[in-house]
Amino acid sequence: MIVLLLFLVPLIGGLVSFFLREDKAIRGWALLVSFVALALAIVGNVSSTAETSLQYSTPWLGTLNSNFALKLDGLGKILCLLTAVAYPVIFLSTWNSTYRKPYNFFGLMLLTQAGLIGVFTSMDALAFYFFWELALIPVYFLCSGWGGERRVQATFKFFIYTFTGSVLMLIGLLYLYFLTPDRSFSIESFYRLAEIKGWNQSLVFWLLFGAFAVKMPIFPFHTWQPDTYEQSPTAVTMVLSGLMVKMGVYGMIRWVMPVVPNAAWSWGDVVSTLAVIGVVYASILAIQQNDLKRLIAYSSIAHIGIMALAIFSETHIALQGVMMQMFNHGINIIGLWIVVELIERQFGTRKLSELGGLAAKAPSLAILLVVMALANISLPLTNAFVGEFMMFSGIFGTTLTKYNVVFTVFALLSIILAAVYMLTMIQKVFFGEVNERTANAVDIRLSEKLALSILVVLVFAFGVYPQPLLNITNGFAESIINTSTKALSQTLSR
């Protein structure tokens, strides 16, 4: 029942928001709903022995043999926890932002949260597709209604990419449905197809890969991302980069690797090559950016590329590292977006060339940005270090490809490049010369300090003691690797 409540609370909370009219009441309501969801997520994570409370299933579309089946396993737990932590932080950090028709804005934000929870817990392919769209559709309206000057063009590009991905995914899921002996959309029936032979595997692989690669995004499916991040209101950008890109990574782990393991192995080098190109390409572009939003957007593409590389190494340690990094990347990137939001709101610009000298004027903001930036480049004792170390170990140690050393070298190169663009950003924004625009800068407010402090605590807590995240992810990573390895072994022994 906990998992059902985790979905229903933001869904009902979002619907109620549309009927509220007083600005403070709407903000307070949205914050309250997000804290209730956070409490449920925490209970769900600590109730590891209460298995019956972490799953829910009821007939949904009986004629299609589809169930409304939700479950909180290791992967679902960590992503639902990330979603539940992110929303109160986003609402607190944007408390002083002004929105036209706030009842619609916060209603759509909470509906997106409900969709995300559904995606991360669904155990039925048709329900998964429904939740996928439930998460995406509100974002279209949020970007087009509250975005920047070029929001129409950016939203149109976002729509084309994601619509194409959704169509590919629907075709792939329907094709798998007709392959199942019991004509079922349940994930167990799909997993029993792991030994299907021939071109069926490759066809399904590319259909699903196309859908999830757009959402992650993997090079060359990434061009919608910088424009959408730049033109969206920052609260929506936080949801897109901190949470929604995880839908693509999640799809690869949950719906691609265990369902078509042989095709994933056959095409692994191709995908890994695309991932490596994306890592280096995005890092170099990040160095050249003058706009803070675009810099962080390209930084995100590089980090997601490493996750894709680690997934296709198909090792236990790399997969567990990916799952940890999904959580930690979400925390760090949301922290960076909060800083960008605070800078843009105070100075009316995001351009590095128009900022400078903020460390003396806004010391709290400077300290918090430095912490989030160092976490983003995976400095030891910060949360991202353990996950990245595990991913690099898995990429280097895989026996499924002869290019493991090459892939590892290029992946490691991203750390050096990340240090270059992050430290350059810190230097230009906080330690450059004070100018007319920044001369009267003031430090951040209490609600903003509180939001960023929550993230900083998580950065150091999981940097020093990552064992709780390892405990959550270990069993699931083992089950996925066992499923893939079993199907591969049978194929290679023929």
Residue 335 covered by a domain? yes
For residue 494, pLDDT over 70 is answered with: no
Average pLDDT rounded to a whole number, residues 69-83: 93
Look at residue 350 and tell me if it is in a domain. Answer: yes
Domain assignment present for 89: no
Share of the chain above pLDDT 70, in %: 97
Strand partners, 382: none
Its pTM stands at 0.92
How many residues in total does the chain contain? 494
Position 303 pLDDT exceeds 60: yes
Per-residue burial over 266-285, b if 16 or more Cβ lie within 10 Å, else e, is: ebbeebbbbbbebbbbbbeb
Domain count, the chain: 1
DSSP state at residue 291:
B
In the predicted structure, residue 24 carries a pLDDT above the cut 60: yes
Give the Cα separation of 119 and 82 in Å (integer).
13
Q: Quick one: which of 264, 266, 348 has its CA closest to 311?
A: 264
Indicate whether 397 belongs to any domain: yes
Q: What is the pLDDT of residues 242-292, one digit of tens each?
A: 999 999 999 999 999 999 988 988 899 999 999 999 999 999 999 999 999
Residue 254 covered by a domain: no
- For residue 191, being part of any structural domain is answered with no
Average pLDDT, the chain: 89
Backbone angles phi, psi at 167, to 5 degrees: -65, -45
Where is pLDDT greater, at 355 or 128?
Answer: 128
Residue 385 lies in a domain: yes
Q: Would residue 186 count as lying in a domain?
A: no
Structure tokens at 41: 């997520």
Residue 457, domain extent:
265-493
26 pLDDT higher than 70: yes
Q: What is the pLDDT of residues 189-205, one digit of tens each?
A: 998 887 777 788 899 99
- Model confidence band, residue 52 (pLDDT cutoffs 50, 70, 90): low
Q: Comparing C-alpha atoms, which of 175, 396, 235, 228 is closest to residue 306?
A: 396
